[in-house]
Amino acid sequence: MNFLVRANQSEARGHIRLAGSKSISNRVLIIRALSGTDFEIEGLASAADTVTLQKLLETKEEVYDVGPAGTTFRFLTAYLALQPGRQILTGSERMLLRPIGPLVDALNSLGAKISYEKKSGYPPLVIDAPGELKINSAIDIPADISSQFISALLMIGPCLPGGLTVNLVGDLVSRPYLEMTLRSMAYFGIDTSFEDNCIKIPEAQYQPRPITIEADWSAASYHYASAALAPHADIVLEGLFEDSWQGDAVCASVFEKIGVASTWKEGRLHLTKAEERGQMIEHDYLECPDIAQTVAAVCAGLGMPALFTGLDTLRIKETDRIAALQTELGKIGVAFAKLPSRFTKTDQETFMVDGQPAWQDPPLFATYHDHRMAMALAPLAWINPVKIEDIDVVDKSYPEFWRDLVELGLGVEMVK
């Protein structure tokens, strides 16, 4: 079924209590499992990926099926590599197309015993109990691969004899996610170092202690979108931390250029219309790729030119997000085009949102089984009604999304 989304009022207004960060929640769950001791986690994410990870960490079954949860798959690959017995780690049809080879190679070089059930380099994985783990291990790994591969290795580092040294080779992608991992580890007693492109982790025991998970900044970005696109805005977001561990917290400064003012008061974030907005926005999303779709959709809806770099990882997410944006924004008459290198200031791929949006009949936006496509495009309904297919896809990271849109003043109606 699809949703028809339309504005019921001219002001995006409401008080939203955001769920905990999926990224932090998943790290904390792995660390709790590695510590061997239960401890209280307050504000754990309600995202399907987190629910799946929590369930699988408690299972005694031989087959671990993560569904479409990429972070869960990668973190479990490293975690299960240290466990006794044999496990099969698998996932959805799309998950079986997402490469896992660099992580498997790194783990096997440490003494793990992981093989491929079908195609080399891809899930499903057969994970046997490790042999004799290497002492004082040091590994080289490409710095431009998914940060989730690297984070998976970092979190098991303290459990390896003599610890682990990770040398990141080349240009680093998504450094904030690695820093989030190291800050999570530090909270539980692991003293690491990250100098140049070398991360050193000592052999140590995680120290269990209660933790409160901060709310999810990528979820907050969709309400920034409502504030930007609605004629008027008065939105209060609760649960976010001003001193955040999340790279996506940069969305506050990005949306300031788009015309949204952020004000902290008594631990809550208040979003209102800024007095003015820029004529054009240019940003590198290398360290915050999860907000790129949202910003692209907002700029398209406002008819605001925007330049995007740092989209390297978007092609290997739940879908090819670049191709998906090009197709879906085209439905409202806006291009998301790659600029020829002669027109750019950098040797990075550069994409531009360009064109004035126009639509009368609600366009049906495809989601490509990608939660972020649905959530990035739905706020366009503040301009004119839109239709969103595959509405349950948001459960992957933000199950309360549709409820919260209604809280702000959008109407949501089931249609064929």
Handedness of CA 113, 114, 116, 117 (dihedral sign): positive
Label each residue of the chain as H, E or C. CEEEEEECCCEEEEEEECCECHHHHHHHHHHHHHHCCCCCEECCCCCHHHHHHHHHHCCCCCEEECCCCHHHHHHHHHHHCCCCCEEEEECCCCHHHCCCHHHHHHHHHHCCEEEECCCCCCCCEEEECCCCCCCCEEEEEECCCCHHHHHHHHHHHHHCCCCEEEEEECCCCCHHHHHHHHHHHHHCCCCCEEECCEEEECCCCCCCCCEECCECHHHHHHHHHHHHHCCEEEEEEECCCCCCCCHHHHHHHHHHHHCEEEEEECCEEEEEECCCCCCCEEEECCCCHHHHHHHHHHHHHHCCCEEEECCHHHHHCCCCHHHHHHHHHHCCCCEEEECCHHHCCCCCCCEEEECCCCCCCCCEECCCCCHHHHHHHHHHHHCCCEEECCHHHHHHCCCCHHHHHHHHCEEEEEEC
Marked catalytic residue, from 248, 290, 354, 370: 290
Residue type, 198: C
Identity of the amino acid at 398: Y
Q: 216 φ, ψ to 5°?
A: -90, 120
Residue 395 annotated among the catalytic residues of the structure: no
What are the residues whose beta carbons fall under 8 Å from the beta carbon of 55, sequence distance 6 or more? Answer: none
410-415 and 2-7: which strand pairing?
Answer: antiparallel
Cα torsion 239, 241, 246, 252 to 10°: value is 90
List residues with catalytic annotation: 290
